[in-house]
Amino acid sequence: MNKVPTPKSFRVKSFGCQMNVYDGERMAELLATQGMEAAPEGEDADLVVLNTCHIREKAAEKVYSDIGRIVKDSDGKAPLIAVAGCVAQAEGDEIMRRARDVRMVVGPQAYHRLPDMIARASAGERVTDTDMPAEAKFGALPARRKRAPSAFLTVQEGCDKFCTYCVVPYTRGAEISRPFADLLDEAKRLVDQGAREITLLGQNVNAWDGEDGRGRAIGLDGLIRELAALPDLARIRYTTSHPNDMTDALIAAHGEVDKLMPYLHLPVQAGSDPILAAMNRSHSAESYLRVIERVRAARPDIAISGDFIVGFPGESEADFAATLALVDEVRYAAAFSFKYSPRPGTPAATMEGQVPVDVMDDRLQRLQAAITRDSHAFNAASVGRTCDVLVERTGRREGQWLGKTPWLQSAHFTASEGAADHAVGDIVRVELVEAGPNSLAARALT
């Protein structure tokens, strides 16, 4: 390919999960240390990194249409295009074949090597790096620079659970836990730069384990307790958890650590035991419900969220009815639901009994109606509560502030006449006064 000048500006576009958002931020920080600048919104960049998601079909197709759009909009001055993330890992060679404009393919475990790849790509090479080195990429990355009231911190990556529908064990590799000392350092840095809330991330975040400063074995609950000791950190969250790794100690932490927010994202995927078995989930509907019961006993006001897949191969109407029954029982504050998407190379993709798409559409609609009903009920029940809101940004209206309640609801309020004004990063005491479809109206009490 042609040689091109070394890029001066870049844009990182992240799709998919929060771990990808975190990776995108770290790639941007890495590129900034190389003397490149983030291109302002709406302006062309010399380098575009598409940080992709492979979890469902549409996500992968989107990458190809995005590449096409970038080339079409570039008036002949096409930027260097790098495809990163999980599609890069799973389909790197195919991307290089199908999309001639792509110069770099970089997997999720290799992005610390981007600077070298960019140098080679500028010199005219097409470069692929989808190694999953044992060497930790995190150690090779520059220190965090992010300034925001709410920050992500990846503590664990990869998955050893091999649910039969899921690509993650193949794209992100085996489960690894980042060392405690590194996490404490990164958390302190984030807090020094203004983070009031940290969300600990991992594909199986509650499988995190490590050793504390004194060499004692600790789990995620121990990590949370240690981070809670940072004076300026006000809120801790974690996601995503597997039901089988909800230990007694982690559940107890929900009742004991004030800074641990009352919110738990605990995917169940389905409510029918034969389907859960075919998914290789290694929990039953009943054992999942028992976990929820224990968590609620520790923290009665906790908001529960989850993930669902409808139309897994072999799912009958009776199986689906069991999912609806489980939803009725849990009363989710929020939940995400998806149509099953066969992922190449996963066991479920070749299972018998693939469900027709119109059946999936119908089930998805019914499931989403049930979830919306419960989430509206949850929000309506919050009206009248007094709570803290972490201010994340200004609203569209003059004097309006937007933020999150402890239960991860969006809330908006306007500073009252004569009261002290607020700032991003403030934690403001409010009364929740009205529940809208997407957010709650609040009244500042301070």
Task: Choose which of 269, 272, 409, 439 interacts with ligand 5AD (CB under 6 A).
Answer: 269
3-state secondary structure of 424: coil
Check residue 340 for interaction with ligand 5AD (CB under 6 A). yes
Q: Which is nearer to ligand SF4, 312 or 407 (CB)?
A: 312
Part of the chain binding ligand SF4 (CB under 6 A), chosen from 12-20, 42-50, 217-225, 306-314: 12-20
Contact 351, 164 (CB under 8 A): yes
Per DSSP, the three-state class of 200 is strand
Please list the residues that pair with 38 across neighbouring strands. 10
Is 85 near ligand SF4 (CB under 6 A)?
Answer: yes
Number of residues binding to ligand 5AD, judged by CB under 6 A: 12
Q: Which is nearer to ligand 5AD, 261 or 364 (CB)?
A: 364
List, in order, residues 6 or more apart from 141 with CB less than 8 Å away. Answer: 26, 29, 30, 112
Provide, rounded to whole angstroms, the least separation between the CB of residue 22 and ligand SF4. 10
Partner whose binding site includes residue 56, from ligand SF4, ligand 5AD, none (CB under 5 to 8 Å by kind)? ligand 5AD
- DSSP tag of 418: T
* 15 makes contact with ligand 5AD (CB under 6 A): no
Contacts 24+ apart (CB under 8 A), 339-343: 339/309, 339/310, 339/311, 339/364, 340/165, 340/309, 340/310, 340/311, 340/312, 340/313, 340/315, 341/55, 341/56, 341/57, 341/58, 342/57, 343/54, 343/55, 343/56, 343/57, 343/165, 343/166, 343/167
Strands 235-239, 217-219: pairing is unpaired
Number of residues that bind ligand SF4 (CB under 6 A): 14
* Segment interacting with ligand SF4, rule: CB under 6 A, options 47-55, 116-124, 300-308, 370-378: 47-55
Is residue 196 part of the contact set for ligand 5AD (CB under 6 A)?
no
Q: Name residue 42's amino acid.
A: G
167 binds ligand SF4 (CB under 6 A): yes
Indicate the residue among 144 and 363 with the shorter CB distance to ligand 5AD. 363
Answer for the pair 156, 199: CB distance below 8 angstroms, yes or no: no
Tokens of 351: 């299972």
Separation CA 293–CA 183 (nearest Å): 31
The correct pick among 171, 272, 341, 409 for binding ligand SF4 (CB under 6 A) is: 171
Structure tokens at 90: 């799973």
What minimum distance in Å lies between the beta carbon of 56 and ligand 5AD?
5
C-alpha to C-alpha distance for 119 and 51, rounded to whole angstroms: 19
Whether the CA torsion 38, 43, 46, 52 is positive or negative: it is positive
Which residue lies nearer to ligand 5AD by CB, 24 or 406? Answer: 24
Stretch that binds ligand SF4, among 139-147, 165-173, 214-222, 381-389 (CB under 6 A): 165-173
| Amino acid, res. 331 | R
Q: Based on the shown chain and the rule CB under 6 A, indicate whether residue 16 belongs to the binding site for ligand SF4.
A: yes
Rounded least distance, CB 51 to ligand SF4, Å: 8
Identify whether the C-beta of residue 149 lies closer than 8 Å to the C-beta of residue 392: yes
Cβ contact 412:267 at 8 Å: no
267 binds, among ligand 5AD, ligand SF4, none (CB under 5 to 8 A by kind): ligand 5AD
Q: Kindly state whether residue 309 participates in binding ligand SF4, applying the rule CB under 6 A.
A: no
Q: Which of 27, 167 has the CB closer to ligand 5AD?
A: 167
Near ligand 5AD in 153-192, by CB under 6 A: 165-166
Binding positions for ligand 5AD, rule: CB under 6 A = 55-56, 165-166, 267, 269, 307, 309, 338, 340-341, 343
Binding positions for ligand SF4, rule: CB under 6 A = 16-17, 19-20, 53-55, 85-86, 167-168, 171-172, 203
